[in-house]
Amino acid sequence: MKIIISPAMKMKIDSDSFAAKSVPCFLKQAQELATFLKQCDFDQLQKIWQSSSQTTKQGQSQIKQLDLAPKTNLTPAIMSYSGIQYQYMAPDLFSAPALAYLQDNVRIISGLYGVLRPFDGVWPYRLEMKNKVWGFKEPNLYDYWGSSIADWLFAEDDGLINLASKEYSKNISPYLTAKRRMITVDFQEKKQDKWQTVGVHAKMARGEMVRFASEQQLSKPEDLQHFNDFGFEFVPAASTQSNYLFRTEFAFKKR
């Protein structure tokens, strides 16, 4: 099985902890996007990103330095993203077998790169899948990537575990078939007597689940049902073959 996850907005450069081992598979398409973004002025980028002036300035600086040519000293994708999901995953603390599992089984969906293996070398960038790249030959990134991401993923494995947000899993869901299985994992907690998904806590749980799968070297979707971090428990009665539901009444506290 392959596990898909979302990228993070926050990125860092870290070529010291681990070396990049592979090159993004859709590098040509990423370079086409990067070339266009480099040509955009401040106002164009702000419109694309729908961002504040400060964020746009930071993003423009990243774009100017963006170099997608294959080379050494790039940061592995799994170490470059530093959002909540990745903090709770804590890949820098993984054993060698767990790191190998990541590279073999985890895939990161990206607006710029399309799809990444954990040890693909990347450069910090700003481009969400939901962004409209106004002026580009195909402003809608879902249309730009089309079925290519799903086709590549399902060529590797006919079963996916979806730990990505809807923004990114939307690249896959239109291309499911009877032979292409995707199981979406949802995390809910009780709020005012109602079961709800709390975004930040779901990200924490997703990171922990990737770590759980990697440390346990899981190979079957059913094995994920034993996950119980943060007091989450698998709920068979509310789950289906395409959706695994976990619930908790644990009082969350961020690390």
Mean of pLDDT values over 14-34:
92
pLDDT digits (tens, 9 = 90+) for 185-209: 999 998 888 899 999 999 999 999 9
Ranges 7-16, 95-104, 223-232: which has the least confidence: 7-16
pLDDT at position 16: 81
Sequence-distant (6+) residues with CB within 8 A of 122 are 11, 20, 24, 74, 75, 76, 77, 80, 113, 116
Q: Characterize the bridge pairing of strands 194-196 and 181-191.
A: antiparallel
Mean of pLDDT values over 149-154:
97
Q: Coil, helix or strand for 162?
A: strand
What beta strand segments (E) does 121-232 contain? 121-122, 159-162, 181-191, 194-196
pLDDT averaged over every residue in the chain: 94
The answer to whether 181 and 159 are in contact (CB under 8 A) is: yes
Q: How far is CA 125 from CA 66, 88, 102, 141, 213, in A?
A: 7, 22, 22, 15, 28
Ranges 34-48, 65-79, 114-128: which has the least confidence: 65-79
Rounded CA-CA distance 238/164 in Å is 20
Ranges 45-54, 88-97, 126-135, 245-254: which has the least confidence: 245-254
- Record the tokens describing residue 253, joined without a space: 């506290």
Q: Characterize the bridge pairing of strands 243-248 and 194-196.
A: unpaired
Mean of pLDDT values over 109-137:
96
pLDDT at position 255: 47
Sequence-distant (6+) residues with CB within 8 A of 16 are none
Q: Reply yes or no on whether the pLDDT at 59 is more than 60.
A: yes
| Nearest CA among 70, 145, 72, 84 for reference residue 109 | 145
pLDDT at position 252: 64
Q: Reply yes or no on whether the pLDDT at 17 is more than 50.
A: yes
pLDDT at position 251: 62
* Residue entry with tokens 């346990």: 216
pLDDT at position 191: 83
Rounded CA-CA distance 25/9 in Å is 21
- Record the tokens describing residue 82, joined without a space: 């530093």
Rounded CA-CA distance 210/187 in Å is 14
Mean of pLDDT values over 98-111:
97
| DSSP code string of 224-241 | GGG--GGG-EE-GGG-BT
Q: Residues of the chain with pLDDT > 70: what percent?
A: 98
pLDDT at position 181: 95
Mean of pLDDT values over 225-230:
95
Q: Coil, helix or strand for 127?
A: coil
pTM of the model: 0.95
Rounded CA-CA distance 37/25 in Å is 20
